[in-house]
Amino acid sequence: MSLEKVILVTGGSGLVGKAIEWVIENDNGKYGKQDGEKWIFLTSKDGDLRSAEATRTVFEKYKPTHVIHLAALVGGLFKNMKYKLDFLRDNLLINDNVLHTAHEHKVKKVVSCLSTCVFPDKTAYPIDETMIHNGPPHESNFGYAYAKRLIDTQNKAYYDQFGDNFTSVIPTNVFGPHDNYDLQDSHVIPGLLHKCYLAKKDQTPFVVAGTGKPLRQFIYSRDLAKLFIWVLREYKEIDPIILSVGEKDEVSIKDVANAIVKAVDFKGDYTFDTTKPDGQYKKTASNAKLMKYLPDFQFTPFEVAVKESADWFIKNYDKARTGNH
């Protein structure tokens, strides 16, 4: 019997790719590997997806029937502001190559990963899936945001013209094992985790930038992985779906810092540097659509997820992406 499903995951060595791999291998329930499924996790070493030729070679080698498309040129705020054209062009090329090659290979389904930065800068809250194209994204990362937004446009065009089953998901702030912990260029949780770990090791104060008041919805990478697997197997729409904890589960940056201090068992001096800017106060997203489909989905409690993430980071410090090795 031939395998009926060959699932190719682009960006397989990143935060979300590693989480999907972990769930496929470790979940004994409905999210784990099923009979007749072969999972392939690509890394950038397998081929440069900015090149149409390299992308074709990858598809010819693995002959996927399904694709989870996570690969992207990503960076923190500073990089996004400085290299808007690079972020726009590289991501347009990657997305166009993956989607068009999937189309040519008659792939049955593609699930691409967008980002909450695709939403308009000026918007009403909570944000939902219908608002993506309602106005320009935030100035700071419009290159990346427009490239991601266009995946949704392409999905609809492939469906309208050819009936291709290409869809996308929009996760809120993701964190977990295998994150990027670079102190200059990481997101808030891995950045603070790394800072707190160093403060404990060097017996120096742990200082958090800003007031700690802004609110964010964080999703644990392993929860997100389960939802990605569900979308691949069950979700029938071309329109995107927000994958997030509920509005009531928003946490403040202060809550985040407290959870990290606890997880790392940091006993030193811990303060907020209120001279530093806070960034956007909130970016609340609605998970009502997801809850309509999966009303009983159990999210990992935030403190438990932070503890698991911290334990992984400390154990794997020497090989984690920290920017200094």
Catalytic residues: 144
Backbone angles phi, psi at 314, to 5 degrees: -65, -40
Q: Measure the CA–CA gap between 185 and 76, rounded to whole angstroms.
A: 5
Structure tokens at 67: 């694709």
